[in-house]
Amino acid sequence: MRAPSFIPAVFAFGLAAIIAVFSATFAVTQIEDRSVAAITTAMRDQGHNWVSVSSDGLQLRLEGTAPDEATRFRALTVANDIVDAARVIDEMEVAAAAVIEAPRFSMEILRNGDGISLIGLVPATTDRAELLERLRKIPKAGAISDLLETADFPPPPGWDDALDFGLETLARLPRSKLSIAADEVVIDAISDSRDAKRRLENDINRAAPDGLRLEMTIAAPRPVITPFTLRFLIDADGARFDACSAASAEGREKILAAAKAAGLDGDASCTIGLGVPSPEWPRAAVASIQALADLGGGSVTLSDADITLVAQDTTAQSDFDREVGELEGALPLGFSLFSVLPESVVIDGTGEGAGPPEFVATKGPQGQVQLRGRIANDRARSAVTSFARARFGINEVVDATRTDDTLPDGWLPRVLGALDSLAMLNTGTVVVQPQVVDVRGTTGNPDARAEISGILSNQLGSAENFTLDIRYDKKLDPVLGLPSPEECVAQINQTLDARKITFAPGSTDIDADALETVAKIAELLRTCDDVQMEIGGYTDSQGRESMNQQLSQSRAEAVLNALAARRVATANLNAIGYGEERPIATNETEEGREANRRIEFKLIVQEEEPTAPTETGPTGEVITGGDGSENEQN
């Protein structure tokens, strides 16, 4: 049976369809592969290695993470340039933008006699107007140059506290440079003296906020050292300095090197100051220290150009003579040598022992001073008692000395030098013998050993032989706990509440009973010597106005002189007589007139530039006692 005639036609048509489908599929695949390859190559050429290209039929899928939107757009443009944009499926992502870190905010403040300059970068939230206003309120601030830039970022933690601390510190430092950041403040400044340097360092350290790193360098001018003193000892306790002065860092290094070679152990330093008697001071000091080391012990003291070498009492005479001769030959021209080979010294300390004659003075914790032992005659005894009362207070001295006309020449200067040394101690004892002056005690002054060495070297002359056993106690150091100006006034108030200052009727002489009050005020002022105060004298309205003014001026000056006699720095004290001005009570009654007859201590505060007229009363007023009641006794 013959097959139907349409079957070959159907078969041919089916085969043609299969071939067409296969050809179309092959053609599409070829187009896809060529497109993917072309775009991938183009992406690599353009540096877009992060792009992954795949095909989906005739469509091309772009995937990957672009570093930013601009890079994503450039990659898309590369693909669109190769194939029709309608075929491109953009599934690329953009990386999250990195958080922009805030800059390091810091401010440099420069202050000198010409004014204040601000340089640096601060947060935009910083109140510039308030900042400048605070600077203008600093006494003697001068012109202010604001060169600050800002950035719109929140202030870092600690920024406000550091800025407040920096501005408060700047007010204390008229010659300074401050670098302020949130985590640290760096201070470079110049102070007026070594004492001022210590006070500033202590006060600034105490005021620094917790967690703030503080780097501080405060320079002080070289002190004038008189006499220019060096004292070096070698004994059973080792080698050490009681005092060391140098004119330069180079000279100091030479002296310290010689001391270390002589057995000095641990840290030591020499005060660099003015007043050196000769450029050859280091050479003389080195030769003296070497001679003492060769002797094996004793002390050597340089006071200006005078050198005293004191050997141990066990030193052989031949060794002593040899070292003295060698030292005399080694000393530079202009230096003189006094040498002592002492006899054995026993410090009895009672003033009445069976050994050599003694004078003994003891200072107790409450400030009372007891004098015992021997004085040459009644005139010398009166001089010693008066000197002691002037140094320690009229009611603080107990005199239990006795006269002895067999004492050696020069006894009185030795006693006065010992009392002057005792005044440098909080508690202690001084013993004067013909061969030695012995000073022992406790002090809150870290420079007391050097200062006492200078006092005794100057007072005893070239034949000095003294021993020092002085302990520094930080708890007694007034610099480590200095009162504020307001606290100074409050402490004086408390002293005056206990006993007022009075005058003899119609006189400028302070009553003897009031001298103890003056002495206590003097002790308080030694911790407030940079506080500016006014000593004002006032009278009532009785008598002539001109006479009242003169009397009040004289009494204010009498108080100032009494404080100066007790070695109080009076540069910041100003005595002014106001006469009958500024009464604080009525002059119609005796009680009121006595209240008006007074001495006032007032704190002098640097006036700030007022923003509006204001009236303020006196600051820190201290009122002290009255005197007589007759018209001429204002």
Q: Which residue has the tokens 């002296």?
A: 255
Amino acid 597: pLDDT: 80
Tokens of 527: 């911790």
Does residue 135 share a domain with residue 63?
Answer: no
CB distance 566 to 522 below 8 Å: yes
CA gap 244, 286 in Å, rounded: 12
CATH classification of the domain holding 525: 3.30.1330.60
Tell me which of 219, 246, 280 is where a domain ends. 219
Amino acid 630: pLDDT: 39
Specify if 264 maps to a domain: yes
User: Measured between alpha carbons, how far apart are the two ends of the chain, in Å?
Assistant: 166
Tell me which of 478, 513, 537 is where a domain ends. 478
Q: Which residue has the tokens 């004298």?
A: 537
Run means of pLDDT, 10 residues per run, the chain, 634 residues: 59 60 53 77 86 80 87 86 83 77 90 92 92 91 92 92 94 93 94 84 85 89 88 93 93 96 91 93 96 95 92 92 94 93 77 81 92 93 93 91 91 94 94 92 90 88 80 79 77 77 79 84 79 86 86 90 83 89 88 83 67 42 42 49
Residue 445's Cβ-side half-sphere holds a number of Cα atoms within 13 Å equal to: 18
Residue 469's Cβ-side half-sphere holds a number of Cα atoms within 13 Å equal to: 11
Amino acid 294: pLDDT: 96
Tokens of 213: 């790193």
- Specify the pTM: 0.55
Tokens of 501: 């200052």
CB distance 417 to 460 below 8 Å: yes
**3 state DSSP class of 338:** strand
Specify if 237 maps to a domain: yes
Does residue 381 share a domain with residue 260?
Answer: no
DSSP conformation letters of 113-169: TTEEEEEEEEETTS-HHHHHHHHHTSTT--EEEEEEEEESSPPPTTHHHHHHHHHHH
- What's the total number of domains in the chain? 5
CATH classification of the domain holding 444: 3.40.1520.20
Chain centroid to CA 360: 37
Residue range of the domain that includes 364: 359-478
Amino acid 417: pLDDT: 93
Amino acid 164: pLDDT: 93
Does residue 238 share a domain with residue 211?
Answer: no
**Among 406, 395, 605, residue whose Cα is nearest residue 516:** 395
Query: 18 Cβ partners below 8 Å, 6+ apart?
Result: none
CA gap 396, 384 in Å, rounded: 14
Bridge partners of residue 245, in order along the sequence: 271
CA gap 126, 62 in Å, rounded: 49
Does residue 156 share a domain with residue 89?
Answer: no
Specify if 42 maps to a domain: yes
Query: 27 Cβ partners below 8 Å, 6+ apart?
Result: none
CB distance 585 to 595 below 8 Å: yes
Amino acid 192: pLDDT: 83
Q: Which residue has the tokens 């009040």?
A: 552
Region at 57 (left for phi over 0; alpha for psi -120 to 50; beta for the rest): left
Amino acid 628: pLDDT: 39
Does residue 626 share a domain with residue 512?
Answer: yes
Specify if 469 maps to a domain: yes
Specify if 99 maps to a domain: no
Does residue 567 share a domain with residue 459?
Answer: no
Query: 471 Cβ partners below 8 Å, 6+ apart?
Result: 441, 442, 443
**Among 445, 439, 440, residue whose Cα is nearest residue 472:** 445
Specify if 435 maps to a domain: yes
Query: 431 Cβ partners below 8 Å, 6+ apart?
Result: 347, 348, 349, 358, 359, 360, 418, 437, 438
Specify if 16 maps to a domain: no
CA gap 207, 220 in Å, rounded: 21
Does residue 486 share a domain with residue 413?
Answer: no
CB distance 370 to 398 below 8 Å: yes
Amino acid 631: pLDDT: 44
Does residue 310 share a domain with residue 284?
Answer: yes
Q: Count CB atoms within 10 A of the CB of residue 601.
A: 23
Parallel/antiparallel/unpaired status of strands 176-181 and 184-190: antiparallel
Does residue 470 share a domain with residue 397?
Answer: yes
Tell me which of 71, 94, 117 is where a domain ends. 94
Does residue 532 share a domain with residue 545?
Answer: yes
Does residue 607 share a domain with residue 525?
Answer: yes
Backbone angles phi and psi of 513, in degrees to 5: -65, -20
Does residue 551 share a domain with residue 473?
Answer: no
CA gap 632, 634 in Å, rounded: 6
CA gap 398, 414 in Å, rounded: 19
**Residue 62 CA: distances (Å) to CA of 77, 84, 91, 406:** 11, 14, 6, 118
CB distance 116 to 145 below 8 Å: yes
Specify if 253 maps to a domain: yes
CATH classification of the domain holding 36: 3.30.1340.30
For residue 291, which amino acid is it? Answer: A
Rg (CA), the chain: 44
